Amino acid sequence: MTKIAFIGLGNMGGPMARNLVKAGLQVAGYDPSDAAQREFKKAGGSVARSVAAAAEDAFIVITALPAAKHVRAVCLGEAGEKGAFDEAPKGALFIDCSTVDVETSRELSAEAEARGLRMIDSPMSGGVGGAKAGTLTFMVGGSEKNFGLAKPILEVLGDRVLHAGESGAGAAAKICNNMMLAVEMIAVAEGFALADKLGLEAQKLYEIASTATSRCWSLNEYCPAPGPVPDAPSNKDYAAGFASSLMLKDLRLAMDAVKSSGATAPLAEIATKMYTFMDDQGGGNLDFSSIYLLLKK
């Protein structure tokens, strides 16, 4: 059976790797965190002692890591340690599910190819709930051939696997999507904060706006004002489905891309300032919809 290496068993990677084990696949997981290793072992996964040991003999290597510097370190090695690119057999397919910048995805994919390996960028959306339920969306950048090879594995982890284009296109799609989401969430939060000042009940605004021209995911399914959407973080003291600090990370990636590409995104610039302020105030762990609390203050 093809061995899969899964590197980064955190909030997303942990449940994803467990879903692969549940599907009967042979998975070697690695994460420096003891808690992450314990959880994976409990689910029947085999824990490798290092990145190199996980990648050895693995024809598929999946990464779900915090940021670009971690992905580079895992693939290329650091501090004299070998990286996964050094250990994986020729022809192995690397699937990077982390949210990183387009340049990192393109550079690593080119380096993989130069070494006789394959790599796609495959960032995901759907949050921890989607990772647990196996209902993630993957946006893939890479050749048709590599996309075709990765698809059956990604379909175990999600229900939408979309080919965005060549290397880096998945990363670009993820950054654009989350930039739009941040602006959309702030717009909805502003509407509900104004309604509150005008004495209009959140439930009434929801009933009207969710079927009118301002309807969108942030309003209909994730309403930032407590009340209208029972399952939304706003009704759970803003416990993070998607933490504000992660939204800030994605907005910073978006702003870097805006600058380097010569695009214009004034609303995203304001959104970045607002999430930076929230983070500085200690709200980084709260769900990103808690921007509503900031606007109500």
Residues at the interface with ligand NAD (CB under 6 A): 7-13, 30-33, 36, 51, 64-66, 70, 73-74, 98-99, 124-125, 127-128, 242, 246
Burial class, 135, CB count within 10 angstroms (exposed 0-12 / middle 13-18 / buried 19+): middle
What backbone phi and psi angles, to 5 degrees, belong to 164? -85, -25
What backbone phi and psi angles, to 5 degrees, belong to 281? -85, 0
List the catalytic residue out of 174, 236, 259, 296.
174
Token pair belonging to 236: 């759970």
Compute the least distance from the CB of residue 15 to ligand NAD, in Å.
Answer: 9
Compute the least distance from the CB of residue 81 to ligand NAD, in Å.
Answer: 9
Cβ atoms of 172 and 141 within 8 Å: the answer is yes
What count of other Cβ atoms lies within 10 Å of the Cβ of residue 120? 27
Compute the least distance from the CB of residue 212 to ligand NAD, in Å.
Answer: 29
- Rounded distance between C-alpha atoms, residue 146 and residue 86, angstroms: 20
- Rounded distance between C-alpha atoms, residue 137 and residue 118, angstroms: 21
Compute the least distance from the CB of residue 242 to ligand NAD, in Å.
Answer: 5
The tokens 């990677």 sit on which residue? 13
Q: Which residue number, 4 or 65, has a Cβ lying nearer to ligand NAD?
A: 65
Q: CB nearest ligand NAD: which residue?
A: 10
Sign of the dihedral defined by the CA atoms of residues 269, 274, 280, 285, in that order: negative
Compute the least distance from the CB of residue 122 to ligand NAD, in Å.
Answer: 11
Catalytic-residue membership of 151:
no
Q: Which residue number, 6 or 192, has a Cβ lying nearer to ligand NAD?
A: 6
What count of other Cβ atoms lies within 10 Å of the Cβ of residue 159? 14
Burial class, 225, CB count within 10 angstroms (exposed 0-12 / middle 13-18 / buried 19+): buried
Q: Which residue number, 150 or 195, has a Cβ lying nearer to ligand NAD?
A: 150
Q: Which residue number, 123 or 142, has a Cβ lying nearer to ligand NAD?
A: 123
**Could you report how far apart the first and last alpha carbons of the chain are, in Å?**
57
Cβ atoms of 75 and 84 within 8 Å: the answer is yes
Residues involved in catalysis: 174
